[in-house]
Every structure is written in C-alpha cells, then in structure tokens.
C-alpha cells in the first residue's frame, strides 16, 4: 500500500558552529527533494482531492481550465455585522440594509465569478450556497507584477453570514464581541480565514478585544469596512473587501488584523485617526503587517505567532467594570474619586507625554493610591498618538509609585480591551493580574521580539553569497535570505537538524516560509518522524495549517507516514483535516478497511476523521471491512462510530506532555 510506506529517518548530529550546520544541511545529497515514493503519494493524493466537484464538472470542460484542487482554492468566511459598507439611505440618513449585500456582490465582476461558479457547480457542494461567492482569477498578463495582488493564484471561495439585526458599530457591546468570537470558533475548522465586516467608529475596539479573546489563534481574522457604502458609485468598500479576502485566503497570518486603504494592521495596534478620509486608520507604533500595492508584501518579521502547542479557543469572559479617564489641566480630585468608585475595577488613565501626571497634586495621587489599595487596577497610557510610557520624569515616577501599571506604547483601545480580558480571570490574584498586564500577550505593546539575534550583515553565510554577487544594500540581502532560507530550512528539517534551523532563525528567517513546492519545515519534519523537531517548530510559531502544492498539510503527511505521536501533537496544537481532505476521507477509509489496515484507520480516526463517512460510490468503511472478513477492523469501526468526536487530549492539559490515547477498543 502506497500510504503504508515509511521514509527512513536520519540521525541528528551536533555541531557547535552554525556555518557547519548550514553547510551540512545544504550539502546533504538526499535533501534537495523528498523521496520519490512521497512525491508519488502526494500526486496520487492530488488526483483524488475534490472528487465530488471534479466528478460534477461538465465533461465538456477541461480540468486544466477549471482547477478545483485544494492547492488552487481557499475558503473564507465573511461575517457581516453591519457598518457603513452595507448601509443605504433612508429618509436622508444612512442605515444598515439587511439582505442586500450578497445580491450586490454577485453583480460585481471583481468580487464574483458567476461563470466559474456555474461550470464547477459550486452551489451544489457548499453549505449556505445561496450566500457563497468566488473571486475571479487574474487575467493572464506578460508582466507578473500586473496581477501581483493575487500572485498566489488561488481561487477564493467566500461565504457571507449576516447578523440580524445589522448594527451600526456605535451600538456594539461586549456581547456582540462574544457572538463574533463564538462564530469564528464554530466555523474554525471549515475555513482558511475569516473576514469581519464592521463599522469604522468602533472597529479598533473590536479588533483589540478579539485579539485577546482569540487564544492560540492559528488563522487570519481580518476586520474591514468602509467610509462610503459599497452600493455607491464611488466608494472604498470594494477595494477593502477584496484586499481582506485575498489576504485571508492566501496567507496564514495567525493574528486578528484590520485591513483598510491597502494596508493590513495588527488589530490591537490601530486607532481611527480620520473621520472623513479613506485612509481612516493608523498604527502609530508598529508598521503595517502588509501593504497591498502592485504586489502584496507581507512583513513576516513583524507577524505575531503563538508559541504554544494548545488548540485554538475563544474566551468570551470580559469584565465590563472598566473605563477610560483622560487627565486634563485642573481636573479635580472629586472627579477622579467619583470615577473610581465601585463597581469600577480597572481604568486606563490617559496621561501627558511619556506617561506623566502632576506630581504637585497630592490629592490626585492620594486618590490613585487609595484605589490601588482597594484592588482597582490602573494602566498608564499616553495621550500622544506615538511614543511610550516611561519613568524618565519625576511626574511619571509619581504614578508608578502610586501603583499604576505602565502601559508602554499600547493604544487606549488595546489597553482597555486587555484590562477587561485580564480582570475577567477570576482565578488570578490582583498581583498576578498586574503582572499579566505588564506582559506582551498578543503583540499589543513594545517588546524585544525574538528573531534576528544576528543581523544579515553578521551572517558569514550571507556575507559569502553577498560578496560573490556584489550585493551590499539591506533590501538585496533580505531578498537573498528569503530566497535561500526556506530551502535550507527544509533541508535541515529532513535530517532533524535543530541546530541548523536555529541558525537560520537567528538570521531573521521565518521558519513557516515555504519552499518552491509550498512545503514548510513542519511538513518535512512530519514526513520524517522527527518528533523533537516538530515540537521545536511549533514552539517557534510554525503554522499547522500550511498547504503544499498538492494541498497536503503537515497533519496529512504525518498520517501518510504513520507517525502517531506527531499526529497527536499536531492535533493538540489545533491541526485538523481540511475540508478537501475530509471530502476524500470516506474513500480513503474504505480503501484501508478493504485492506484490513487497522493502523491506518486508527490514525485517520486520531486525526479527527468520521469513520462513518461513505466513499464516492456510497460504500461505508464497515461494509468493506465485513466483506474483507477482518473482525478486528470491524470491531474497531463499530467502536469508533460511537466516539466520532472524542477529544484526543485533555483540554486543560497545557504542559506539552502527551496524554496516552488508545484508538482501538480494549479486548474483552
């Protein structure tokens, strides 16, 4: 059986010199490509993917022109909460218009390709088909940069779900944030990314709140909207929605982001700065994560990644007893005292300059001190658009002495959301909450980010190449790094060389970057069975959702090569079979059952497959097992059918250790 083939593992040797590790990884004769058996299996997997829609395509259409393989399509869920983007005029004022957005999008060629949808019979195979659309492919052009916005060449299929009632963002509450979060969690395994349509007035608050509510996020969640309704002739809604869809469907950016006016920002770093401009948002203290110009350029060095092996979850518990208090000259102690009275549990104090307040106002400082002693937590944030809170001035140190927590360079929106999130953790003491507020949880404040301990110019490896190519400028050095490091990282992953990967990471390289076949180091490590390397990569924020050119994820690779512990670890981290892999699972399960392959069935069940799924011909795995006369397989399938969604790991277990899991029933 092709899927039963194991590739041989290579031992890991140690070396103290980074150049030696890199040289060994580069020169290893068997590293430039995977074993031929693996390539063959991947290609055969590709031929089976998407069989449902492939079989349904009219025989008069060429499969080459209508590629529905998993590597050519991505699914995005659009959650329409309301906002200006979907408003219409009623009685000379803008109001949310229900049940109108999808109808309008279908009429816009840049946002829906009706011909492709009909030819591939899209509406017959998608849930919520009446609200499902597909972006067109860019037209062929001699200049690749001409259509750089969709350089990945993926078809973005997107489904729109609409809230009722639609809201002006001014009416948003923490309950609405919880609803959005629960919808993301509900559909998390069905889609590659999420776009949230939202009004601009409180978009920065929602983006900040969701960034904390989404724990261990591994997929992009992008908020967007517009200043002018999408139904108007001249508007910014079309470009904002298109850009958000392209990024959410093509790039694995595991953050809550905000996309506006051709820029992708970290959600908890933005603030609205202009009420009447298309360029309405700014990220004062952090550069944009991406710029959508002629090409979409992702600043991967800035992307925040979870470094845990814990599954994604939504925390909807937010403390509402928080507030914003802005200092101004002459503010009275009575005003501050009234603001700090119960039930207030925490405030964000917006101070002058770099976190300063009058140190000659003993009455004000006394109110702050008393509130701190009562357990009220106060975060010190600057009123300035840019800059950070410090204790360089006596007026700033006075607030620190009064018990305020320094908010560094957080925006007021981020500080308020973080305070609400932390205060809701009832299991923590007040001191533990204060410490948590001081930590960088989601990239919301300045931090010494791990990454380029060695600059590009310090790397001897890069120096040699740069000298031979007569290159000296930073941009060209970065281009060399980005071109070579993914292949080197995959080469090092094949032999399990963590030392070489660490050297590559210290050059500033992103260990989630893919090689020419779309394969990441995590793909290779999963194929080769290097458990410790998989743990290392996950600890560095490697994504479990990346797909190679054949549509395979690291989880699918671990199943194919029968590495049970790696399947466990990936599942614990949140990996799941993609929608196209699940579509093909029934046929694969039937094949394994017919062969009496109990180990293969156990691994698919461990990975989350439903063993009651039918094949493309309508047969069930248990029927195939009965026909083949393998009683042990029949017994397993009967047992597994009763526990289709049995969790593999204890949800409360976060220490990284495995919990033993037996995928077969105990013999009586």
Report the catalytic residues.
200
Instruction: Give the whole-angstrom CA distance, residue 264 versus residue 254.
Output: 13
Instruction: Give the whole-angstrom CA distance, residue 537 versus residue 37.
Output: 25
Rg of the chain over Cα atoms, rounded to whole angstroms, equals: 27
Distances (CA, A) of 415 to 7, 174, 205, 349, 410: 50, 15, 10, 10, 6
Can you say how many angstroms the Cα of residue 316 is from the centroid of all Cα atoms in its chain? Answer: 18
Distances (CA, A) of 432 to 405, 475, 606: 12, 43, 37
Instruction: Give the whole-angstrom CA distance, residue 258 versus residue 21.
Output: 40
- Residue 650, both tokens: 């204890």
User: Do residues 101 and 86 make contact, with C-beta atoms less than 8 angstroms apart?
Assistant: yes
Q: Is the dihedral of CA 633, 639, 641, 643 positive or negative?
A: negative
Q: Which residues touch 19 (CB under 8 Å, ≥6 apart)?
A: 460, 461, 503
> What is residue 15's three-state secondary structure?
coil
Instruction: Give the whole-angstrom CA distance, residue 581 versus residue 191.
Output: 13
Backbone angles phi, psi at 606, to 5 degrees: -60, -35
User: Do residues 248 and 195 make contact, with C-beta atoms less than 8 angstroms apart?
Assistant: yes
Distances (CA, A) of 345 to 193, 212, 366, 382, 497: 35, 19, 17, 20, 50
Instruction: Give the whole-angstrom CA distance, residue 531 versus residue 493.
Output: 11
Q: Within a 10 A sphere around the Cβ of 572, how many other Cβ atoms?
A: 23
Nearest to 413 by CA among 218, 283, 321, 315: 283
Q: Is the dihedral of CA 232, 236, 237, 243 positive or negative?
A: positive
User: Do residues 555 and 567 make contact, with C-beta atoms less than 8 angstroms apart?
Assistant: yes
| End-to-end Cα, the chain, rounded Å | 30
Range list of β-strands (E), 198-267: 214-215, 221-224, 256-260, 263-266
User: Do residues 287 and 263 make contact, with C-beta atoms less than 8 angstroms apart?
Assistant: no
Q: Within a 10 A sphere around the Cβ of 235, how many other Cβ atoms?
A: 17
- Residue 140, both tokens: 């062929």
Backbone angles phi, psi at 160, to 5 degrees: -105, 125
> What is residue 600's three-state secondary structure?
helix
- Residue 128, both tokens: 């919520």
- Residue 369, both tokens: 């001190």
- Residue 51, both tokens: 């069989």
> What is residue 516's three-state secondary structure?
coil
Nearest to 488 by CA among 15, 10, 23: 23
Instruction: Give the whole-angstrom CA distance, residue 561 versus residue 576.
Output: 17
User: Do residues 30 and 494 make contact, with C-beta atoms less than 8 angstroms apart?
Assistant: yes
């Amino acid at each position: 059986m092709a899927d039963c083939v194991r590739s041989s593992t290579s031992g890991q040797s140690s070396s103290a010199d980074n150049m030696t590790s890199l040289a060994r990884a580069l020169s290893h004769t068997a590293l430039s490509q995977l074993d031929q058996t693996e390539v063959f299996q991947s290609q055969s997997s590709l031929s089976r993917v998407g069989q449902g829609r492939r079989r349904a395509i009219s025989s008069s259409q060429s499969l080459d022109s209508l590629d529905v393989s998993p590597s050519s399509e991505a699914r995005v869920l659009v959650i329409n909460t309301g906002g200006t983007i979907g408003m219409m005029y009623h009685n000379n004022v803008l109001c949310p218009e229900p049940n109108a957005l999808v109808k309008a999008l279908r009429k816009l060629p840049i946002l829906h390709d009706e011909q492709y949808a009909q030819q591939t019979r899209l509406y017959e195979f998608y849930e919520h088909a009446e609200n499902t659309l597909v972006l067109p492919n860019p037209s062929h052009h001699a200049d690749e940069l001409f259509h750089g916005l969709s350089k990945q060449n993926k078809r973005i299929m997107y489904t729109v779900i609409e809230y009722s009632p639609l809201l002006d963002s001014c009416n948003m509450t923490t309950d609405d944030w919880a609803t959005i979060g629960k919808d993301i969690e509900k559909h998390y395994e069905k889609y590659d990314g999420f776009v949230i349509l939202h009004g601009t007035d409180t978009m920065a608050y929602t983006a900040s709140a969701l960034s904390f509510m989404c724990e261990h996020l591994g997929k992009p969640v992008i908020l967007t909207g517009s200043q002018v309704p999408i139904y108007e002739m001249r508007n910014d809604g079309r470009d904002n929605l298109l850009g958000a869809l392209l990024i959410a469907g093509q790039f694995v950016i595991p953050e809550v982001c905000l996309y506006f006016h051709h820029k992708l920002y970290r959600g908890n770093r933005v603030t609205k700065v202009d009420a009447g401009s298309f360029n309405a948002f700014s990220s004062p203290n952090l550069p944009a994560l991406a710029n959508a110009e002629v090409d979409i350029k992702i600043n991967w060095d800035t992307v925040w990644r979870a470094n845990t092996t814990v599954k994604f979850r939504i925390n909807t518990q937010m403390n509402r007893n928080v507030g914003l208090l802005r200092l101004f000259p002459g503010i009275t102690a009575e005003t501050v005292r009234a603001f700090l009275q119960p039930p207030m549990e925490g405030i964000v104090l917006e101070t002058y300059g770099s976190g300063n307040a009058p140190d000659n106002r003993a009455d004000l400082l006394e109110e702050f001190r008393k509130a701190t002693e009562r357990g009220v937590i106060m975060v010190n944030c600057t009123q300035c658009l840019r800059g950070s809170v410090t204790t360089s001035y006596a007026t700033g140190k006075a607030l620190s002495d009064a018990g305020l927590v320094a908010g560094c360079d957080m925006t007021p929106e981020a500080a308020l959301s973080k305070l609400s999130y932390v205060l809701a953790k009832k299991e923590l003491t007040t001191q533990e909450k204060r410490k948590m507020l001081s930590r960088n949880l989601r990239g919301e404040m300045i931090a010494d980010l791990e990454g380029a301990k060695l600059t590009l110019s310090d790397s001897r490896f890069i120096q040699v190449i740069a000298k031979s190519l007569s290159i000296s400028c930073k941009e060209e050095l970065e281009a060399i790094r980005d071109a070579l490091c993914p292949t080197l990282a995959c080469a090092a992953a094949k032999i399990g060389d963590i030392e070489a990967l660490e050297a590559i990471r210290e050059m500033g390289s992103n260990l989630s970057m893919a090689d020419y076949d779309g394969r990441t180091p995590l793909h290779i490590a999963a194929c080769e069975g290097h458990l410790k390397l998989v743990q290392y990569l996950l600890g560095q924020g490697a994504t479990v959702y990346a797909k190679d050119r054949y549509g395979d994820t690291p989880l699918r690779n671990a199943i194919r090569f029968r590495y049970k512990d790696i399947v466990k670890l990936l599942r614990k981290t949140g990996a799941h079979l993609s929608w196209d892999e699940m579509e093909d699972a029934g046929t694969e399960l039937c094949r394994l059952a017919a062969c009496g392959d109990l180990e293969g069935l156990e691994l698919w069940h461990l990975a989350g497959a439903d063993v009651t799924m039918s094949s493309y011909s309508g047969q069930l795995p248990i029927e195939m097992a009965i026909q083949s006369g393998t009683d042990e397989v029949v017994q397993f399938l009967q047992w597994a059918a009763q526990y289709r969604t049995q969790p593999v790991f204890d949800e409360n277990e976060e220490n990284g250790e495995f919990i033993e899991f037996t995928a077969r029933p105990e013999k009586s």
